[in-house]
Structure 1
Amino acid sequence: MNIVELLTQREFLIGILAAISAAAMVFTFGSSLVVKQDMRKRIRRVAVERDRLRAEEMARLRGGNAADARTSARRSGETKAYMKRAVDRFDLKRAFQDDTTLDKLAMAGFRGQGHLTTFLFQRLAAPIIIFAIAAFYLLVVMPGERPVFLNVTYAIGAGLVGAYLPVLMLKNATQKRQASIRRAWPDCLDLLLLCVEAGMSMEHAFKRVAREIGQQSAELAEELTLTTAELSFLEERSRAYDNLGRRTGLDNVKAVMTALIQADRYGTSVGQALRVMAEEGRETRMMDAEKKAAALPPKLTVPLILFFLPVLFIVIMAPAIIKVMSNGLMG
């Protein structure tokens, strides 16, 4: 039985449709649980970060060691023991970590020593695992008629490509997180402006906006909650604003934080600065919408040629062709 006969069998098609329906039902009912679990993890991370900030600030005020004070706040951020041993034994921090690694992890939503250790371990384990899988497939499952050294070379190449897999996954997570924050940021500025003009302080404004913006962007709500904790515990407010811009990695967020830092340093009106930045955010969002609308006609050209025009020609010319054929048969 060839593949064409298999694909055209009624029982096979019924089985495929039943599998798709079952998968859709599982995804529909399971997506809500996944979203709730993800929100619970975000709340837990925010609580751990808040405890860490509180412990460091209390240690600073008491003149103690802040490193010792962080141990109680990192209980849930600890990673697996074998990962930590591998990172320490092979000195992976020197091999893979640079000055921007922590910032890249923070932009993807991963904070703390546990996530850093996991990322470094993945940089080591990913090429080894992919090389082992590729070698097993090329040498045992499908050796073919190729020489052994050529299959080993292909496996080594797959392992080298797999070395960049954790970096690509981190970049993908960063892009998704930044896209969510970017979409909700103009509305966040409008809410901040309303709260500040209503007489709230910046701490209460960030806390209130984080509560309201959570339905639109959980990532932005998490960052605003961390900023609220930093405004409460850090000695300098400018550090909290600067940390928010650094964690998000977005230029528009950094611009707003710079304006808030200057307003706090020179005593200018925070409401005026937020009003100007909110207007710029709305204009930027409108320009992005116009840019997407202008790029839509070129994107529709190929689908129009492939799918719409042939059907249109058939609808227009089919009656004439049928009439000519019927006249020819009758003649």
Structure 2
Amino acid sequence: MNFLEMLAQREFLIAVLAAVSAAAVVFTFGSGFIVKSEMKDRIKRVALERDKMRAEEMARLRGSGVADSRSIRRSGETKTYMKNVVDRFDLKKAFQDDATVDKLAMAGYRGQGHLTTFLFMRFATPIVVFVLCAIYVLFLAPGGRPLYMNLAIAIGIGIIGAYLPNVLLKNTTTKRQMSIKRAWPDCLDLMLLCVEAGMSMEHAFKRVAKEIGQQSAELAEELTLTTAELSFLEDRGRAYDNLGRRTGLDGVKSVMTALIQADRYGTSVGQALRVMAEEGRETRMMEAEKKAASLPPKLTVPLILFFLPVLFIVIIAPAVIKVFGPGGVAGG
């Protein structure tokens, strides 16, 4: 039996749909356990990052310039073969630029291990996609096309596959930034309360990270990492700047700039946070109003396609039945 004929059979389609439904049910009930596991992984990642910065800072203070690698446990360890491929083909020169590390940090991937994995995926993904597509178009579904045409299709899809790691990275970054952006105004309000209560910025960041974790685990992770940087870095402005650079959000960067200026010129941190918190609430309200204003145009097409035909049927159907039914004008 031909493979394409098997795909067109009714029993095969029913089996595929049943398998997809079962997988959806398993994923729905197992998502709660996955979220808990991800939270534990994030907390562990923050702790490992803090240990790494502590070792690097102690090495810098001693004047060695390089931290002891045995005292640093890195969360983003990669496979040996990936590192060998990256080093052998010098993929850092081919794929890495000045913004690569910042893009990975905005997606929540920090450390040399994640960078090596990303470079390896950029190298291996188009090759794997090309091989899989070539096997499909040459052996599984040749379709009577010439050999060069099948190879051209496989090469084209392989070139498209080269952008797959960047697309996935951008998608992860967007989701992470949306989570941080939604929780950032509440974070500013909590931070303002902590500062006005007499806490230092280190304790304020630490306290807010604990409170904001249920709303946005990503923001709690960034605040915890900033707390560690404030404790071990000499320049507090560098810790603030790192937070804005890791998130990549204009709102976070503006607040961090205000904190840097307040720390540099000795102005009131509470006043700066109060102004930025008010701006954050106003920005959130403007975004809500913008979404509410864009709702009527979005409902126009569904209204025309789904509501109006049903409404016309309900209104006109009794008259049509009365006219064309038994005893009606047309039926008599």
Shorter chain as normaliser: what TM range?
over 0.9
C-alpha change, 1:313 and 1:16, in structure 2 (3 Å) is farther
How far apart, in 1, do the equivalents of 2:8 and 2:191 lie? Answer: 61
Map of 1:263 onto structure 2: 262
Identity of aligned residues (%): 74
Q: CA deviation at 1:26?
A: 1.2
Give the letter for the 2:329 counterpart.
G
Please say if residues 242 and 254 of structure 1, whose CA atoms lie closer than 8 Å, have aligned partners that are also in contact: yes
Counterpart residue number, 2:329: 328
Amino acid at match of 2:195: V
Deviation at 1:329, TM superposition (A): 6.4
Whole-angstrom distance in 2 between the partners of 1:235 and 1:311: 69
Partners of 2:43 and 2:141 in 1: CA distance: 47
Establish whether residue 155 from structure 1 lines up as the match of residue 154 from structure 2: yes
The CA deviation at 1:130 is 0.4
Rounded Cα–Cα distance in structure 1 between residues aligned with 2:116 and 2:202: 32
Distance in 1 between the 2:60 and 2:6 partners? Answer: 74
Aligned to 1:120: 119
For residues 269 and 230 of structure 1, what CA distance do their matches in structure 2 show?
Answer: 22
- CA distance in 1: counterparts of 2:8 and 2:160, whole angstroms: 35
Q: Offset of 1:64 from its aligned partner?
A: 1.8
Q: Which residue of 1 aligns with 2:44?
A: 44
Please say which of residues 107-116 and 29-38 is displaced more in the overlay: 29-38
Corresponding residue of 1:217: 216
Provide the C-alpha distance between the structure 1 equivalents of 2:146 and 2:305, rounded to a whole number of angstroms.
44
Matches within 5 A, 1:198-213: 198-213=197-212
In structure 2, the partner of 1:304 is: 303
Which residue does the alignment assign to 2:54?
54
* 1:68-104: CA deviation from partner (whole Å, max 9, x where unpaired): 4345324442200000000000000000000000000
Are the counterparts in 2 of residues 52 and 70 from structure 1 also a CA contact under 8 Å?
A: no
Alignment partners' CA distance in 2, 1:19 and 1:2: 17
Structure 2: which amino acid aligns with 1:123? R
Secondary structure of the equivalent of 1:262?
helix
Summarize the alignment of residues 28-43 of structure 1 with structure 2, pairs less than 5 Å apart: 28-43=28-43
Judge conservation of contact 1:210–1:221 (CA < 8 Å) in 2: yes
Mind listing any 5+ residue stretches in structure 1 that lack a counterpart? none
1:89 is matched with 88
The two structures, once aligned, show a CA RMSD in angstroms of: 2.1
**Aligned match of 1:233:** 232
Alpha-carbon deviation of 1:41?
Answer: 1.2
CA contact (8 A) 2:74 2:111 kept: no
Partner of 1:242: 241
How far, CA to CA, are the matches of 2:19 and 2:153 in structure 1?
Answer: 35
Structure-2 separation of matches of 1:330 and 1:100: 77
**Aligned AA (1:87):** V
Give the aligned residue type for 1:65. Answer: G
- Measured in 2, the distance between the counterparts of 1:164 and 1:112 equals 22
Tell me by how many angstroms 1:56 deviates: 0.9
Deviation at 1:145, TM superposition (A): 1.6
Alpha-carbon deviation of 1:45?
1.1
In 2, Cα distance between the equivalents of 1:50 and 1:272? 30
Change over 3 Å in CA distance of 1:312–1:3 after alignment to 2: farther
Q: Which residue of 1 aligns with 2:314?
A: 315
Aligned residues, how many?
Answer: 326
Paired with 2:21 and 2:82, the residues of 1 have a C-alpha distance of: 40
Q: Give yes or no for contact 2:55–2:72 (8 Å, CA) kept in 1.
A: yes
Q: Is the 8 A contact 1:102 1:116 kept in 2?
A: yes
Deviations 1:88-125 (A, max 9, x none): 00000000000000000000000000000000000100
The residue aligned with 2:291 is 292
Q: In the alignment, is the contact (CA less than 8 A) between 1:130 and 1:162 conserved in 2?
A: yes
Aligned mates of 2:113, 2:8 — CA distance in 1: 51
Alignment-derived partner of residue 133 in structure 2? 134
Q: Cα deviations across residues 116-150 of structure 1 (Å, max 9, x unaligned)?
A: 00000001000000000111111111112211111
1:284 & 1:70 partners in 2: Cα distance? 44
Secondary structure, in 3 states, of the residue corresponding to 2:246?
A: helix
Amino acid at match of 2:77: E
Q: Is the 8 A contact 1:51 1:73 kept in 2?
A: yes
Q: Distance in 2 between matches of 1:302 and 1:169?
A: 31
Aligned CA distance change for structure 1 residues 4 and 120 (closer, same or farther; 3 Å): closer
String of CA shifts for 1:239-267, please: whole Å, max 9, x gaps.
00000000000000000000000000000
Give the Cα separation in 1 of the matches to 2:257 and 2:200. 18
Paired residue for 1:146? 145
When residues 5 and 143 of structure 1 are mapped into structure 2, their CA distance, relative to the original with a 3 A threshold, is closer
Equivalent residue for 1:280? 279
In structure 2, C-alpha distance between the alignment counterparts of 1:25 and 1:139, rounded to whole Å: 36
Q: Which residue in 2 is equivalent to 1:103?
A: 102
Structure 1 position 284, deviation (Å) = 0.3
| TM-score, normalised via structure 1 length | 0.93
* Residue of structure 2 in register with 1:185 after alignment: 184
